[in-house]
Amino acid sequence: MTPTRIALVGNPNAGKTTVFNALCGAAQKTGNYAGVTVEKKVGRLRAERNIEVIDLPGAYSLKPKSADEEITERVILGHAGRERVPDLNLLVLDASNLKRSLYIAEELREKGAPVLAVLTMRDVAERRGFTVDSAALEKAMGVRVVEVTRGAKDHIENLNQAILDALNTTKKKAPRKTKINPTIDERYAAINAVVRKAVTKNLRQDTTSARIDSFLTHRIFGLVAFSVLIGSMFLSIYAGAQPMMDAIDYTMKTVAGWARTSLTAYPLTASLISDGAIAGAGSVFVFLPQIMILFFFIAVFEETGYLARAAFLMDKLLHWTGLNGRAFIPLLSSFACAVPAIMSARVMPSDRTRMATILITPLMSCSARLPVYILFIGSFIEPRYGALWAAVTLFGMHLVGIVVAMPLAWLLNRKVLKTGQSPFILELPEYRMPHWPNVWRRVYDAAMDFLRGVAGIIFALSITIWALAYFPHAQKTTDSVYTAFSQEKKMPVKEVHSLATETKLSEKAQALKSDLDNALRAAHLRESYLGHFGRWVQPVFAPLGFDWKISVAILAAFPAREVFISTLGIIYSVADTDAEPEALSKKLLNEKKKDGSPLYSVLLAVTVMIFFALCAQCMSTLAAIRRELRSTRWAITVFIVLTSIAYLMAMAVWQVGSLFT
């Protein structure tokens, strides 16, 4: 049986989300409208499961100026392909901005669309100094008006009943007798007539929001407050998520270790499960804490009204690039992780500016790059130049991405996407306490969106990279390692074989087994398809000063940048690069060229870091781009363009620097 459909219509920030969540609860799902990237949210009415509620994007008019408004107009008028014409339009009217809300109401009435009005924000209106009489409003508009206050269960019950009544009795009304093309003046004349009948001015007016804004939007103090609040968000994403990420990482490593030990007799299966499947799952779940924390802050900022203020403050800094103030949230949060940052670009007002924001987001130095910076700065910069220059270098690596991203944003907006000047018109909503059910729902939706849309791709590519790094896993490679190990440790080869398969070992033997395992991993990686491919492409990286070992590590790090460090650890037979970072550092410092000179230098360290600062070497990020833009072509384009920029800049640093060293 085809469900009855209700469309939830209204201005942005009018309270649609609160009404939608109250009506549908957990019985909702998200997706995208056919052929576009605009998010679609659909739920089932809790009071009647055969009634479907579609939460249309916020719109000020049925004359679209953005992709969001275009979708709203097409769905309401039945022009959206597979989207059915709503049986009832649930129009959310913001009492604190009634005149603005009534404009789309006038358009709906002109179209003859069936309407049931929901009046929200009465408390905000009263703080602003006026009262809306819902009965008078109902009479003036000629449609049923139901008042809804956040958290009032009886109001939701009344609304449910009103919906059922409207669906049972309402038939599509004939359009009012208006001019074929009514002008804006004529519409506002009708709106003003409604407002005069329904709104009463009060003598008292709460100026709390104005007083707060005098500080939070001040050209100096506002920026200080912004820095503190956004810094807290950034610190929470970067550091606050770390214990949860560490717990996930520890759990996955523990499970992988257990699987590896239990399947010792079946090495291929053991490696597939522990290094492929479990490690792949870990690379998915490890992002969840950052995603959830980021969207928690975004939801709180939006619910309280601060998000609009922050966008206002940042607009002037981004204006010249063609972006507007809303872009600061994804750009800033990508310093923690590009995946949730790309998802948060949904705050952008149009498809094209959203696309431009997403495409430059990978240039911000995410936390996954930090281990690479720390390794090379700690090994080559700090010992030679001291802590101050080490800190300057670390800051410089984060600055590199910004310096490249801003001109690239200008180029995308002005020449490629041709977005034109991105208008920045927004109303500063009243400050209010966050509605926690909305906040938690936003966090949950973001996490589920990530798992549904990105996790599968990440997992599949993790298995692919594992296979390339594992096979062909020839026995002759194992035998050669056993022979070399027996000679090095002065042990019979037979004892080495026994050491490799024995599970109950003394502490001394366990240490030997760990050394043997590291040597085996390094040898098999070197002889794997990935290792051979790394040596094959090494001439491509030679102009950057990279040897085959760095080339293999770069290729292995495609699923996640953090793998670069662990891959170098495998190549240099360092058991645990997290527990023994100084061991890997020492190995790099002692690495020599054929002529006996040091292989690694300050210049090479800076070149590697420049490459990592700019390269789109993260399949999670590319998967997120593909999912958000619904385009494999754009994901591939980002990878090619940013990797090319990284290559050229790293080559310039190495070639020019080599002239002076």
Residue 651 pLDDT > 90, yes or no? yes
User: 531-554 in b/e burial notation, b at 16+ Cβ within 10 A?
Assistant: beebeebbeebeebbbbbbbbbbb
Q: What is the mean pLDDT of residues 533-544?
A: 87
Number of helices (H), then strands (E), belonging to the chain: the values are: 32, 9
Measured CA distances, 581 to 249, 250, 374, 584 (Å): 18, 18, 10, 5
C-alpha 181/C-alpha 358 separation (Å) is 39
Most confident region among 245-254, 355-364, 645-654 by mean pLDDT: 645-654
User: 224-255 in b/e burial notation, b at 16+ Cβ within 10 A?
Assistant: ebbeebbeebbebbbebbeebbeebbeebbee
Domain ranges of the chain: 4-201, 474-518
Task: Find out whether the peptide bond into 472 is cis, omega within 30 degrees of 0.
Answer: yes
pLDDT digits 0-9 by tens, 344-378: 787 676 777 888 889 999 998 877 787 788 788 88
Q: Are 524 and 479 in contact (CB under 8 A)?
A: no
Q: Are 8 and 16 in contact (CB under 8 A)?
A: yes
Residue 35's pLDDT band (cuts 50, 70, 90): very low
Strands 145-147 and 39-44: unpaired
Name residues whose C-beta falls within 8 Å of residue 291's C-beta, 6 or more positions apart in sequence.
Answer: 337, 339, 340, 343, 446, 447, 450
| Phi (first) and psi of residue 431, to 5 degrees | -70, 140
- Of 615, 518, 599, give the one whose Cα is nearest residue 557: 615
- Of 605, 550, 553, 587, give the one whose Cα is nearest residue 377: 605
C-alpha 560/C-alpha 335 separation (Å) is 15
pLDDT at 171: 52
pLDDT at 637: 92
pLDDT at 575: 47
Residue 36 pLDDT > 50, yes or no? no
Q: The tokens 């069936």 sit on which residue?
A: 114
pLDDT at 8: 92
pLDDT at 392: 81
Residue 603's pLDDT band (cuts 50, 70, 90): very high
Q: Assign domain 4-201 one CATH number from 3.10.20.30, 3.90.650.10, 3.40.50.300, 3.30.950.10.
A: 3.40.50.300
Average pLDDT, the chain: 80
Q: How many CA atoms lie within 13 A of 594 on its CB side?
A: 1
Q: Are 408 and 185 in contact (CB under 8 A)?
A: no
C-alpha 575/C-alpha 561 separation (Å) is 19
C-alpha 604/C-alpha 607 separation (Å) is 5
pLDDT digits 0-9 by tens, 291-305: 788 778 878 888 888
Q: What is the mean pLDDT of residues 472-477?
A: 86
Cα four-point dihedral sign 66, 68, 69, 71:
positive
Residue 579 pLDDT > 50, yes or no? no
DSSP per residue, 249-299: HHHHHHHHHHHHHHTTT-HHHHHIIIIIIIHHHHHHHTTHHHHHHHHHHHH
Residue 420 pLDDT > 70, yes or no? no
pLDDT digits 0-9 by tens, 306-322: 877 877 787 777 878 88
Q: Does the model's pTM come out above 0.85?
A: no
pLDDT at 238: 61
Q: Are 136 and 197 in contact (CB under 8 A)?
A: yes
Q: Is 89 helix (H, G, I), strand (E, B) or coil?
A: strand
Residue 203's pLDDT band (cuts 50, 70, 90): low
Q: How many CA atoms lie within 13 A of 324 on its CB side?
A: 20
Q: Which long-range contacts (CB under 8 A, 24 or more apart) does 243-248 make?
A: 244/288, 244/289, 245/286, 245/289, 245/290, 248/282, 248/285, 248/286, 248/288, 248/289
C-alpha 7/C-alpha 40 separation (Å) is 12
Residue 195 pLDDT > 50, yes or no? yes
Lowest mean pLDDT among 12-21, 178-187, 324-333: 178-187
- Of 66, 71, 40, give the one whose Cα is nearest residue 54: 40
pLDDT at 152: 64
